[in-house]
Amino acid sequence: MIVLQILASGILLGGIYALISVGLNLIFGVIKIVNMAHGEFLMIGMYAAYFIYTATQINVGLISIIIFPLMMVLGYIIYRLVIKPLLGTAETETNTILATSGLTFVLQNLALMLWTADYRAIKTPTSSQSFSLGKIMLSVDRTYAFLICLVLVIVLYYILMRTRFGAKVRAVSQDKNAAILMGINVNFIYALTFCVGIALVGVAGAIITPIFSVYPSVGVFFGTASFIVVVLGGLGSFTGALLGGLIIGLVETAAGVLASAELAQVFSLLLFLLVLFVKPQGLLGKNARV
């Protein structure tokens, strides 16, 4: 029963990690840049959910629908001001890493200035409730968050793999120059991909706000976890992000139960290092990047 409980809880946590990481992997897979401020956009989504819920008391699922377009707009502003001017330069990857790293500190300190360092949390009617699935006990809020994550990931996968627009995105990801020759507007695909990646992590932040407290540096923890998940699964691999999220969720849950909560991320980091030694490109990655 302990094993089944760990598996169930780990899958719920892993699904949340997967959604947080999919946006990061999508941006890297298409634009070939690493967004170091990924965790900070999750923090913004969490704050937005907190303030909307405090003012309206509406369902977190509805809040996530509101936050998606808001984060799309924020993503577009960041893309135009920070990312687009650096694309096509001699050192695009290095420059974007430096720029988004600087953006990390800007967003953290802006949040600290606006909302102080206080921990804030949403208390929903189901915050302390759980239900039984056989003999397994599951948190209502974690299950609800997992189901929203699952729906979003399935919808994104369908768009990427089964629609004309998704074919264009995959074409740009595989060969930008060939996509240009085929008449695909690469600049539009870049901008929309970045906006969707930011919106997804913002929504992930919204749906985990009833589970985790929000504070200015909360993005550091989740940002680190998302990088572990993405590199573990394979940079640029959509299914790799899903697999990596589930693995890290299971490892951290098992470590928290069998060892201690403080050591949970230590075990995930050890697994991460082990995989890098054995398979540097990640579990489902095709080419290792230096």
Q: List, for residues 184-193, the tens digit of each pLDDT value.
A: 999 999 999 9
What is the model's pLDDT at position 62?
A: 92
Q: Does 258 map to a domain?
A: no
- How many domains, in total, are found in the chain? 1
Segments of the chain with pLDDT less than 70? 1, 261, 285-290
pTM: 0.91
Q: What residue numbers bound the domain in which 92 lies? A: 2-219
What is the greatest pairwise CA distance in the chain? Answer: 58
What is the model's pLDDT at position 288?
A: 41
Q: Does 257 map to a domain?
A: no
Q: How many residues does the chain have?
A: 290
Q: Does 275 map to a domain?
A: no
* N-to-C CA span, the chain: 43
What is the model's pLDDT at position 286?
A: 62
What is the model's pLDDT at position 169?
A: 93
What is the model's pLDDT at position 289?
A: 41
Tokens of 135: 């003999």
Within 8 A by CB and 6+ apart from 125, the residues are none
